[in-house]
Structure 1
């Protein structure tokens, strides 16, 4: 143990004098000493919490300077993309109309930045007015949902159905990267089950996010808790480097069809 390359320890525990002396000696000798929580987060990509804590999340407010830089970069890139891809977007809209009855765009009220409700746009990938049930049940889309159209299945697999959300980016409501915005009825349901769920709205919601590239689409409350751990990891480590990593993972899924989504 004297030749250990690093020491992992639970620094919140009452270790006793002998262990505290040992840890201090290891640190003085230049051996890295890691908190077990940091190691767990780096290995899983999740911040596992049961209540909001500054010790768990660092500062409860993400880097404000990067928030402003990120919004500016998002806006410029969204403007360029919507101009360059306008012929492709028009073709996709035509294919959707030919494949099934209804408009090309789907609009839905979702919980957005700082808890403000916004209208999110997507290419319609499901049949309209299909399926009975409550608003909550209709808001949940399952992987094998029979409401999904032929064109819609391709759009969802490649994530092309999310492209109209460049409109939301231009309006300052969303970002390219961030926690996915949930339908209002689902967000209210999750908040009733998980009191600190609303903290995920501290950053702008994104077209893709850390939870999406690691976990994929979920609906059950138990899975939502795990998704929330991914979202909190993103907020805690909010940085351009993490955004670049998520972007690369998203592009891989779009181009290959493999990966969480």
Structure 2
């Protein structure tokens, strides 16, 4: 009865399949450097140091590919920017292991394998992007109307269960909607035929990097409980990094503090009470980037908001904000256990009370420690209006739900790019 479901799937190009990508990568990254080396010395393959290097390069390549695919699962980072870091990390780790055990190895083979690995996956991306974009079919009913506005996917809205579906990689439906019996049969048959069926919220989260919570009846708050084991490991690791940064950057601290005081009167550091972990208040530290002034309580909310081209920002302050150097003193907050390197940005108390009154689920972002950078910051930049903060909240919820070393690494990579471009600075 539902034979039309067989039209949903289509044959992928071999380079769109992981096993062929990895196999091709191993052949290209290991074989090409070895081939050029054998042109000079055909017997080089029988040397022990070359055999050690080949095994090490294969290990580094497979680990790098696994990390690369982990990063690719997060929205907005599928592309060239997430290739170099994982392979640089795994090849560097393997080389350090070889040096630690004082094993002899071929530098030509190791370096050639690294650059060949990166080049191969750059080429794979360029080739696969020329193929047909990701294609999903939509079952009407429920809250699926927002899907078609999401870019990066070719959508097909089905008019009836008998509609022919051509070259789609999956079907999207609101599985909580009251669908007709014919659509339920269609979904069941799709699953049985091997076609993936996704819930609309699952697809929206994976494509936009946002998690929306509108009703407690959805029981999504329980699903947003962060990984406590990883959070404890993360806190210890971040504390050590903050200690190292504080020691190494102390000369920079002194230079910036002196220049700030020479440019405009007032203290070198800016202190502000903000809302942090579990709703507790703490004092955040930053380099002062604005002219020092005393604001009355009546204008507390306005003074806490930084607007576009804010006249209070000093000339040095523009540089500090663009490069994020004004955030550097917050390593003190990390050492005190009040903040993390990565997490939702802490808001001023007066703004937090405002947002809390307007947005029902706003306090839930305090379930994790606030961070110097975060998922909302790298996607949205600095915002202050309630509607923008509402969108920011959805990014914060996505981070809380998906908190992991991989997502943190993505945020670090995008933060570096933001520091270089000045995205979101005010």
**2: CA distance, partners of 1:123 / 1:53:** 44
**TM-score normalized by the length of structure 1:** 0.95
Q: Shift of the alpha carbon at 1:15?
A: 1.2
Q: Distance in 2 between matches of 1:51 and 1:236?
A: 17
Partner in structure 1 of residue 333 of structure 2: 168
2:193 to 29, 32, 36: 29
1:49 deviates by 2.3
- Once residues 179 and 343 of structure 2 are traced to their aligned partners in structure 1, the CA distance between those partners, rounded to angstroms, is 38
Task: Deviation per CA, 1:69-119: give whole Å up to 9, x if none.
Answer: 110111011111111111112111111111111111100000000000000
**Gap change, CA 1:179 and 1:67, over 3 Å in 2:** same
**Highest relative contact order (Cα 8 Å, sep 6+), 1 or 2?**
1
**Hey, what's the Cα distance between the residues in 1 that align with 2:184 and 2:283?**
54
Unpaired segments ≥5 residues, structure 1: none
Confirm or deny that 1:19 pairs with 2:179. Answer: no
Which blocks of at least 5 consecutive residues in structure 2 are unaligned? Answer: 9-168
2:213–2:361 CA contact under 8 A, matched in 1: no
Instruction: State how far apart, in whole Å, the 2-side matches of 1:53 and 1:239 are.
Output: 27
1:93 aligns with 2:239: no
Asked if 1:122 is matched to 2:300, the reply is: no
Match of 1:220 in 2: 385
Report deviation, 1:59. 2.4
Tell which deviates more after alignment, 175-184 or 82-91: 82-91
* Secondary structure at 1:68 match in 2: helix
State the shift of 1:61 in Å: 2.1
CA distance in 1, matches of 2:224, 2:183: 32
Contact 2:224–2:397 (8 Å) recurs in 1: no
- SS for the counterpart of 2:198 is strand
Give the aligned partner of residue 271 of structure 2: 107
* Residue aligned with 1:11, SS: coil
> Is the counterpart of residue 146 in structure 1 residue 311 in structure 2?
yes
Q: 1:242 to 1:58 in 2, by over 3 A?
A: farther
Equivalent residues, number: 260
* Residue in structure 2 matched with residue 236 of structure 1 by the alignment: 401
How far off its partner does 1:58 sit?
5.1
Note the C-alpha offset of 1:131.
6.7
How far 1:176 moved relative to its partner? Answer: 0.4
Query: 1:25–1:57: structure 2 CA closer, same or farther, 3 Å change rule?
Result: farther
Which has the higher mean CA deviation after the structures are superposed, 44-53 or 145-154?
44-53
Q: Note the C-alpha offset of 1:57.
A: 4.7
- Write 1 or 2 for the structure with the bigger share of helix: 2
Pairwise mapping of residues 68-83 of structure 1 onto structure 2 (< 5 A)?
68-83=232-247
Shift >6 Å, 4+ stretches: none
The SS at the match of 1:129 is coil
